[in-house]
Structure 1
Amino acid sequence: MATPNELTAMRRAIAISAQGLGTTSPNPPVGCVILDRDGVPVGEGYHLRKGDHHAEVNALTAAGERAEGGTAVVTLEPCNHQGRTPPCRQALIDAKVSRVLMAVMDPTSRGEGGAVVLEHAGIEVERGVLEQEALLVLGPWLHSLRTGRPHITWAYTVGANEDNGDQVVNELRHTYDLVLQRDGTIEEGVPDGHGKDVFRVPHLPLGDAPAKALDTLSEAGARTVLIEGSVNDTARLLAEAVDRLIIDVPGTPPSFKPTSAVDKCLTTRGGFELIGVRPLGSYVRLTAKRVRR
Structure 2
Amino acid sequence: MASDVELTAMRHAIALSACGFGTTGPNPPVGCVVLNSRGAIVGRGYHRRKGEAHAEVRALSDAGPAARGGTAVVTLEPCNHVGVTPACRQALIDAEITRVVISLIDPTSRGDGGAAMLTAAGIDVETDVLRDETLAVLGPWLTATLRRRPYVIWAYALDDGQDDAMTAQLVRYLRASADVIAVNKVPDEGIPGGHSAAHFRLPANADFDTGLVPWLTAAYSGGARSVLLAGHGYADAIRDDLHAVDEIIIAVRRNVRVPTDATASFELVAVWPGWDWMTLHFRQHQREEM
- Superimposed CA distance per residue, residues 160-187 of structure 1 (whole angstroms, 9 cap, x where no aligned partner): 5335653222111011011111x22111
Inter-partner Cα distance in structure 2 for 1:7 and 1:64: 22
- Superimposed CA distance per residue, residues 123-142 of structure 1 (whole angstroms, 9 cap, x where no aligned partner): 10000000000011111111
- The aligned amino acid for 2:178 is Y
Matched, 1:190 2:184: no
Matched, 1:276 2:257: no
- Tell me which residue corresponds to 2:283: 289
Sort the Cα spacing of 1:14 and 1:6 in 2 relative to 1 into closer, same or farther, 3 A: same
Runs of 5+ unmatched residues, structure 2: none
| Residues 89, 118 of structure 2: 8 Å contact kept | yes
- Tell me which residue corresponds to 1:211: 213
Inter-partner Cα distance in structure 2 for 1:11 and 1:59: 15
What secondary structure does 2:83 align onto? coil
Inter-partner Cα distance in structure 1 for 2:105 and 2:83: 18
Q: TM-score, normalised by structure 1?
A: 0.90
Where do 4+ consecutive residues of structure 1 move more than 6 Å?
Answer: none
Inter-partner Cα distance in structure 1 for 2:246 and 2:67: 40
Inter-partner Cα distance in structure 2 for 1:56 and 1:281: 43
Cα drift, residue 281 of structure 1: 5.7
- The aligned amino acid for 1:129 is V
Runs of 5+ unmatched residues, structure 1: none
Inter-partner Cα distance in structure 1 for 2:59 and 2:275: 36
Cα drift, residue 50 of structure 1: 0.2
What secondary structure does 1:102 align onto? strand
- Tell me which residue corresponds to 1:201: 202
What secondary structure does 2:164 align onto? coil
What secondary structure does 1:144 align onto? helix
- The aligned amino acid for 2:60 is L
| Residues 79, 87 of structure 1: 8 Å contact kept | yes
How many residues of Structure 1 are paired with residues of Structure 2 in the alignment? 283
- The aligned amino acid for 1:248 is A
Root-mean-square deviation over aligned CA pairs? 2.0
What secondary structure does 2:210 align onto? coil
- Tell me which residue corresponds to 1:27: 27
Sort the Cα spacing of 1:228 and 1:234 in 2 relative to 1 into closer, same or farther, 3 A: farther
Equivalent residue runs for 1:176-187 within 5 Å: 176-181=178-183, 183-187=184-188
Sort the Cα spacing of 1:53 and 1:266 in 2 relative to 1 into closer, same or farther, 3 A: farther
Cα drift, residue 267 of structure 1: 4.9
Q: TM-score, normalised by structure 2?
A: 0.91
Cα drift, residue 280 of structure 1: 4.7
- Tell me which residue corresponds to 1:174: 176
Inter-partner Cα distance in structure 1 for 2:86 and 2:249: 38
- The aligned amino acid for 1:227 is L
- The aligned amino acid for 2:252 is V
| Residues 79, 89 of structure 1: 8 Å contact kept | yes
Inter-partner Cα distance in structure 1 for 2:126 and 2:19: 24
Matched, 1:224 2:226: yes
Inter-partner Cα distance in structure 2 for 1:78 and 1:156: 37
What secondary structure does 2:154 align onto? strand
